[in-house]
Amino acid sequence: MDKIVIVDEERKLARRLKEPEEQPQWYAMSATYCRELKAQAAMGEASIQCYVPMRYQLVQKGAVRRRMLLPVIHNLIFVYGLRSRIDEVKRKIEWLQYRTTVQGGKNVPIVVPAKQMADFRRVCESENEKVEVLLPGHVRLAKGTRVRIVGGEWNGVEGVFARLAGHRSRCVVVEIPMVASVATATISPDQIELIEE
């Protein structure tokens, strides 16, 4: 829908401004009561791309231990598409909600930049068992240095070079603010380059 803006009060002139064309984006969403996989299936049926961070974990059922692929953070799902299309599908799934942040006194859905999402996925989907997925608030990254990994499994991944509590060495943490973070296995300083701010 176009906006009409007054450009000259005295001569009573107005101009019609076209709304910018909607672009597909990644949104962080919550699927309550551990229904993230159910939400992923529903969005998949509507041809909307989704991502649920998952890792292999050992699960004990009775006397049997099995290695199973399970969601790392319950209730979390990332959805990629046009906001209008996501809203249309979301109306039928009342337990699926946007994760929000406050901007200008309003709750606004959290949008994840494409590069940040790609880096987060690359580290999460790694077979390296030393990768850790962290909830918001479990690591303070304010003082860390922004870096890019050069070479190896995570070549090109950008994040914060930090030392996690309980660890001797440093790693690179890819953070999606107020949603989640993922930490690589140990990275040596010769595998990183500083990102100029």
Tell me the fold of 22-112: Alpha-Beta Plaits (3.30.70)
Maximum average pLDDT range among 20-24, 67-71, 95-99: 95-99
pLDDT in tens, 40-54: 999 999 999 999 999
* Res 1 pLDDT > 60: no
- Predicted confidence at residue 197, as pLDDT, reads 67
Dihedral pair phi/psi, residue 94, rounded to 5°: -65, -20
pLDDT in tens, 51-94: 999 988 888 988 899 989 899 999 999 999 999 999 999 999 99
Mean pLDDT of 120-149: 82
More confident residue, 72 or 2: 72
More confident residue, 54 or 185: 54
CB atoms under 10 Å from CB of 143, counted, come to 7
* Res 3 pLDDT > 80: no
- 140 — pLDDT class (breaks 50, 70, 90): low
Strand pairing category for 25-31 and 192-194: unpaired
- Predicted confidence at residue 6, as pLDDT, reads 61
Nearest to 94, CA basis, from 5, 159, 29, 2: 29
Answer yes or no: are the C-beta atoms of 90 and 79 closer than 8 Å: no
- Predicted confidence at residue 163, as pLDDT, reads 80
> Domain locations in the chain?
22-112, 114-197
Going edge to edge, which strands form the sheet with 158-162?
Answer: 132-134, 180-183, 171-176, 158-162, 145-149, 192-194
- In one letter, which amino acid is 33? Y
Answer yes or no: are the C-beta atoms of 181 and 188 closer than 8 Å: no
The encoded tokens of residue 9 equal 């009060």
The encoded tokens of residue 48 equal 């909307």
Mean pLDDT of 90-100: 94
More confident residue, 197 or 150: 150
User: What does pLDDT average to over the chain?
Assistant: 87
- 100 — pLDDT class (breaks 50, 70, 90): very high
- In the chain the beta strands, taken as DSSP E runs, fall at 3-8, 13-17, 25-31, 49-51, 54-61, 64-71, 76-81, 96-98, 100-103, 106-109, 111-112, 132-134, 145-149, 158-162, 171-176, 180-183, 192-194
Q: Calculate what percentage of the chain has a pLDDT beyond 70.
A: 87
Mean pLDDT of 173-184: 89
